[in-house]
C-alpha cells in the first residue's frame, strides 16, 4: 500500500508562500503514487470556499491585483482533488471568520477537528504542518 501524506495547512493564501508549497508538494506526491490528505485549518480555511465577485467600489489597482492573485491557489486545489487528494476544512475556524456555510470549492469537503482531522491522521503515514505560529 502506498504511503499517505497528510498536510495540516494553517496559513492563508495571501500572507505566506505556504499554500504554494503545499500544492506543489501535494501534486508531486500524487504524481509519485502517494496518497495526499489536506486539512485546511485556521487561516487555511479561507481557501475552502468558492470565490465570489467583490461588490461595491474596488480600490485596488490592476498591477497590485495581479500580484495578489498569484497567491490564489483555489484552482490548484480543484486539480489536486481531481487527482485523488482528500481535502477537508475546519468549520469552526470558518465560523470564526464569518465564512461557515458558504459554498465550498469542488473537491473541498466540510470538516472538523474531532472527526475529519483525526480521521486523516489515523489513515496517514506522514504529517507535516505548515504555519507561521
Partner 1 sequence: MLFLLNKTQPDTCELIRLLGGEEEKEALLIEDAIFYGTEFMLPTLREAGVEHVYAAADSVQQRSVALSPECEVVDYDRIVDLIMEDHEKIVCI
With respect to partner 1, which residue has the nearer C-beta, 6 or 104?
Answer: 6
CB 126 within 8 A of CB 3: yes
Interacting residue with partner 1 among 71, 73, 99, 127 (CB under 8 A): 127
Quickly list H helices, the chain: 18-31, 62-69, 74-82, 91-96, 118-122
With respect to partner 1, which residue has the nearer C-beta, 5 or 38?
Answer: 5
| Calpha distance 124→49 (Å, rounded) | 25
Of 44-52, 73-81, 96-104, 124-132, the window that binds partner 1 (rule: CB under 8 A) is 124-132
Q: Is 127 helix (H, G, I), strand (E, B) or coil?
A: strand
Q: Give the footprint of partner 1 on residues 83-122 (CB under 8 A).
A: none
| Calpha distance 100→29 (Å, rounded) | 30
Question: Is 73 among the residues that bind partner 1 (CB under 8 A)?
Answer: no
CB 58 within 8 A of CB 28: no
Query: How far apart are CB 41 and partner 1 at their closest, in Å?
Result: 13
Q: Give the footprint of partner 1 on residues 7-66 (CB under 8 A).
A: 16-18, 21, 24-25, 27-29, 32, 34
Beta bridge partners of 108: 87
Binding site for partner 1 (CB under 8 A): 3, 5, 16-18, 21, 24-25, 27-29, 32, 34, 125-132
Amino acid at each position: 500500500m502506498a504511503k499517505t501524506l497528510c498536510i495540516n495547512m494553517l496559513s492563508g493564501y495571501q500572507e505566506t508562500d505556504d499554500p504554494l508549497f503545499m500544492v506543489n508538494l501535494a501534486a508531486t506526491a500524487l504524481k509519485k503514487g502517494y496518497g495526499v490528505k489536506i486539512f485546511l485549518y485556521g487561516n487555511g480555511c479561507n481557501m475552502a470556499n468558492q470565490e465570489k465577485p467583490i461588490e461595491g467600489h474596488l480600490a485596488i489597482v490592476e498591477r497590485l491585483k495581479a500580484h495578489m492573485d498569484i497567491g490564489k491557489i483555489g484552482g490548484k486545489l480543484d486539480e489536486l482533488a481531481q487527482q485523488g487528494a482528500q481535502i477537508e476544512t475546519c468549520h469552526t475556524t470558518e465560523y470564526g471568520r464569518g465564512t461557515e456555510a458558504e459554498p465550498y470549492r469542488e473537491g473541498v469537503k466540510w470538516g472538523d477537528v474531532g472527526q475529519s482531522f483525526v480521521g486523516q491522521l489515523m489513515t496517514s503515514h506522514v504529517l507535516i504542518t505548515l504555519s507561521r505560529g
